[in-house]
Amino acid sequence: MPGALPVLNEAVVDLAVAVALALDASIAEKAGFARKNYFYPDLPKGYQITQHAEPLARDGHLDIELEGRTLRVGIRQIHIEEDAGKSVHSEHSDSDSSLIDMNRCGVPLVEIVTHPDLRDIDEADAFLNELRRILVCLGVTTGEMHEGSLRFDTNISVRPRGATEMGARTEIKNLNSFRAVRKALAYEADRQSRVLRDGGKVVHETLLWDESRERAVPMRSKEGASDYRYFPEPDLVDFEIDARRLDRVRESMPELPDAARRRLVEVYAIPEYDAFVLTAESSMLRVYESTVDALLKRLGPDASPGAAKTVSNWVMVVLAGHLHERGITLAELSARVASRGPTDRQDLAFALPSRLAEVIALRLRGEVSEPAARRLFEAAMESDEPVDELVETLDLGTLSDEDALRSLVREVLAAHPDEVARYRAGTTKLIRFFVGQVLGRTGGKADPELATRILLEELGHGGTT
């Protein structure tokens, strides 16, 4: 609108400072904004407010682990700018109309620019993944690329083996997934190599990745693209990043994924892989640690050294599967579980871990079988009944009455004379069939180990021999 003015969102400064701290960048004491001038339909003011001469931070780095070696990727600068609108190009490539979504105009974003330190697609992929984990952990972005909450513009150049000078680069935009990044880089590396092999020259240009055709096409050139006529933004005042702000941001920062990973391996003695998965999201990490705590309290001195690993299996497999099947987030599930329980503030964050720990404890004590424990977990997430009462209500307690189980075993053997004969003739793998039959008849409640032992005993008696 004519007469409208921008105002700096202070929260974005804190988030950008957190990014700069996480990437070991040197943060400016004072920073300001500039106008980048160009005409484009998705830019309603005709200029973008960005940082030019005085970015928020410079000279950082991120170390990533890749196939047993450490790769240091240099960060050239980190700055704040406003987002432009989104041009929605028609799906029919022969149509010359485009739509513009103005909803994200003026929304602040943080841009991170690396040095040309990545040598192949795997390095790029590993770097972007680690960067994403950090940004999600810091709460800077949801990391959802398809929503545009995280976007990558990649620059790529190729050079003959042994050459010391970098080749001309191209920039690829419109990459909406990690898969697209890999595909586009492979496509463009290949294209540039062919151009050079054929004796041609790579033109420095910006390309748009066409997802449907898996091709990078040159972007319609912007007016005066080479001269943005930057000058200081007179509508905004410079902002200062003093020691107090730095301290405040530093204190509020969560543990970064890399540190969390190392700590999990050390404290809980779980495998590297588990630690990697559990630290992907801070909410996942919190649930894991709270569950381990709750479980250890519940088990007391009985706790086995493997309890932490058991919890990690439950969180990575059962809990993650539950979320995936229902298409909900961990935060949503936590809120749901908490809302059903007593409205104790303490309970909000701990309702889910404490119920999960109870299920695992019952399982570890052998009071429920593995399949029963899974059913108990589902029920525990969807009702507010105390977990131990759910065992009763759903009749999930382990069938450990040996006599009852033995008569059940005998019934099963009597019902399958052919299989019994084949077993005795040497097809011993049929034991699994019998166990399955017994478990089936108990609705999964029978302890499989006990059932196996009785089956072996009964089959071993030889009956008629």
Residues that bind another protein (CB under 8 A): 1-8, 35, 37, 39, 41, 44-47, 223, 226-227, 229-231, 234-237
Nearer to another protein by Cβ, of 234 and 342: the residue is 234
Of 8, 200, 38, 242, nearest to 107 by C-alpha is 8
CB of 41 to another protein, least distance (A): 6
What is the C-alpha to C-alpha distance for residues 364 and 362, in angstroms, rounded to an integer? 6
Of 414, 291, 403, nearest to 357 by C-alpha is 291
DSSP 446: B
**Could you please report the per-residue DSSP string of 199-251?**
T------EEEEETTTTEEEEPPPPTTTT----EE-TTS--EE--HHHHHHHHH
> Helix axis angle, 282-299 relative to 257-268, nearest 10°?
20
Nearer to another protein by Cβ, of 2 and 301: the residue is 2
What is the C-alpha to C-alpha distance for residues 420 and 406, in angstroms, rounded to an integer? 16
CB of 170 to another protein, least distance (A): 22
Nearer to another protein by Cβ, of 50 and 442: the residue is 50
Task: Identify residue 67 by its one-letter amino acid code.
Answer: E
Contact 62, 75 (CB under 8 A): yes
Nearer to another protein by Cβ, of 37 and 176: the residue is 37
Angle value at C-alpha 158, between 154 and 161, nearest 5 degrees: 145
Q: Where are the alpha helices (DSSP H) in 314-401?
A: 320-326, 330-340, 345-364, 370-382, 387-393
Q: Token pair for residue 445?
A: 């409640």
What is the C-alpha to C-alpha distance for residues 262 and 441, in angstroms, rounded to an integer? 46
CB of 353 to another protein, least distance (A): 42
Q: How far is CA 161 from CA 19, 164, 194, 231, in A?
A: 35, 9, 14, 41
CB of 224 to another protein, least distance (A): 9
Nearer to another protein by Cβ, of 204 and 365: the residue is 204
Nearer to another protein by Cβ, of 32 and 443: the residue is 32
| Integer-rounded Cα radius of gyration of the chain | 30
CB of 203 to another protein, least distance (A): 20
Q: Which residue has the tokens 């151009």?
A: 195
218 has which bridge partners? 207
Q: Token pair for residue 80?
A: 């704040």
CB of 47 to another protein, least distance (A): 5
Nearer to another protein by Cβ, of 42 and 210: the residue is 42
Residues sharing a CB contact under 8 Å with residue 20, sequence separation 6 or more, in sequence order = 27, 56, 57, 60, 78
CB of 101 to another protein, least distance (A): 14
CB of 226 to another protein, least distance (A): 8
CB of 38 to another protein, least distance (A): 9
Nearer to another protein by Cβ, of 102 and 317: the residue is 102
Nearer to another protein by Cβ, of 2 and 305: the residue is 2
Contact 243, 21 (CB under 8 A): no
CB of 3 to another protein, least distance (A): 4
Nearer to another protein by Cβ, of 241 and 408: the residue is 241
